[in-house]
Structure 1
């Protein structure tokens, strides 16, 4: 059966028809009897895929995707494109996973190194944070660290209609964050997620054929925003606790939803841990200014603690760098380096290999500590 590319386009197929020459075309040519389908739900027991708008259907996965044969990062995730055989009435099965053009992922909890793909083949990552007790600039920075490889981050501050969103310390901190991130070409929007006219500012990132993912803590308003963008009550929503503004996991699994605009939206459960994978590069994030400043330290092996001539500490003392932001930069720097070491150990790479998460090389010098 020939693929219906118009139907696939409605769930994010990135081409007007068959893909041009490249890795996708090569994989598809190797399976002439298979056709594309997209993973719209991921469960412990398997996958739900779709070939267009409407209900998806369950497929049988490949044996090599079963635990613990394959690591979680190599198994399909919501947003992935598969090649499948059979039809919805005849127990269709997966044949191959098409290469990803982007993904947002994190390191899984625990001592053993592994990666978890949150969503695949995405164009935009909406980082959702509420303008209440949920507001946390450091958490937003951590989410930004995980967005790389072709996806564009957009910060969405929900609950702009609440008292905290209009006035007070939270509103002041949010305006300062918005100014800082806007200076680094990162869009920031404060919205009322319940009102379509307020959420309409996100339309430029939700054009036909585009895919966005919502990430953020429980209670931030992701499901409420999803319902507003869909146009009806699609996702269950809940209230947050008054004492700490924390919500319950009303979204229990990741799901891809087709929007009226022709775009696709992936809603995700709140994530309590956001551990780097070791593949991140602080020089390519909104911390690029601090990373460049670190290259001006007097000593190449500066630890940015009590070292003389530390450009970062000098800037913090002078007030040109926010002390809390610097502390978070150094914390993330250490986490990335640690994760990169664990990744190398798992992969069995040579000790001299340097992953992206390692500290970038300083200016060359001729022996000893540079003065």
Structure 2
């Protein structure tokens, strides 16, 4: 059994969605801008050359309307879709690279890219790093200014939600390269990572963003591919530890930004504890369509070998028929049913969202 985990370009993160039953699209939240990795990518990687992580083939999308693969790393909807739906939109805003000249992006844009990270050095040349995603936002902002005028565009952007789901790949790459590190080395890495994230958030604030929704990372050491390295299929605790460190540090970063930047408002989603509970007692939870609970919280639905995690989900892979009973779709990513359950749970009050609930970002 190997002691050092190796991870490919695409890594799994816990995709989350937002449940805001009273919010509607329009003046309250005119648009959503999504940044991050495969947890919220809706197809940007389909347009990248080279060898990007991709999900533009069946059985990905088997439960998406029309049973078609779109580039989402899921059997159906992604977390950014649920966010958009609960805000009153039809689904996630479109992938930036899918937009054609002259096509409006009035309800927002999704810039996320599977395999990407906060650092430019995370999976370079095979994904769109966060810094480049932000540069893409500049072109969207310029288009808004042309169509609406500078003042109206500024007001539009300030009311919009800026949603982030990232850092998973940065941490996995650090651990894959360095192995198990001591606490001092991990702390230094997390300090550098969150400092870089802070720079990106501040740059979007300077571009007019005011409402920020930042997802923390879940227990990444409990995904199927991580469990392969542990006898008895247990979680990899040193991976979970670095995830907890990131979440604690990001709380501090966001609080500091809110003190220093006038009008900066945010909700940080610390989903770690709920997902730990869910994976320990999956039978107690069920999706909107399946109230009898999950039956499989360790193995992936699509793949092969032990835990269905010995290989990627491919067009030739077998996959489970009862997908709403599984937490994991492939060896990295969650099923849409899992995302739905996390959505309903973590947004019940302020227990997993701080310092304010998501609905408090939405003027009613």
Structure number with greater CO (CA < 8 Å, separation at least 6) is: 2
Please give the range of the TM-score, normalised by the shorter of the 2 chains: under 0.3
Q: Which has the larger radius of gyration?
A: 1
* Larger strand fraction of residues: 1
TM-score, normalising length from structure 1? 0.25
